[in-house]
Amino acid sequence: MAEQYVIAGLIRKRAELAGKIEHAYAELRQMVADLETTDAAIAIFDPDFKAETIRPRAFRPPRDWANRGEMARMVLSILRQAEEPLTSRDIALEMLASRALDPEDQKLLRLMVKRVGVALRHQRDCGRVQSDQGPGQYMIWRVPK
């Protein structure tokens, strides 16, 4: 009897995921069509220009890319899974990797280190994390046991 509910829930979840995938493919097809149209417009004005030489602009998340409380949850999750205390830079790099963002983008990394630092200081004030002096200007952070 209970299996029916589980199966029904899994069917709904699969249908939802399949719909999201179809939507993502439709958006991708539209972006490719827009790119080809833009390349054609460039070719009208300068037939000798090679559109392939244009480097893609790095994706920049909006300033409010994290929903309320999401940054703190991610920071705490990373610290809980860590074997040893981490710096705010280490946590920021982990967050960039988890969101598939470019860790080589120094401007984005600096922004994330600042945001992680703010979240960590708030969590320290609430007693959820502890800090010690770390390497250089960085503090090392850990979840108390």
Distance in angstroms (rounded) separating the CA atoms of residues 137 and 128: 22
Half-sphere exposure of 127 (CA within 13 A, CB side): 0
Domain limits for position 85: 70-142
> How many domains does the chain divide into?
2
Distance in angstroms (rounded) separating the CA atoms of residues 112 and 106: 10
Distance in angstroms (rounded) separating the CA atoms of residues 79 and 70: 14
CATH number at residue 102: 1.10.10.10
- The predicted pLDDT at position 63 comes to 57
Whether 63 is in a domain gets the answer no
Model confidence, pTM: 0.56
Distance in angstroms (rounded) separating the CA atoms of residues 13 and 24: 17
Whether 111 is in a domain gets the answer yes
> pLDDT tens for residues 96-118?
888 878 888 888 889 889 989 99
Identity at 8, one-letter amino acid code: A
Strands (E), the chain: 86-87, 130-133, 139-142
Same domain flag for 37 and 8 = yes
The per-residue pLDDT of the chain, averaged, comes to 88
- Exposure pattern of 18-29 as b/e (b: 16+ CB <10 Å)? eeeeeeeeeeee
> pLDDT tens for residues 34-51?
999 999 999 999 999 998
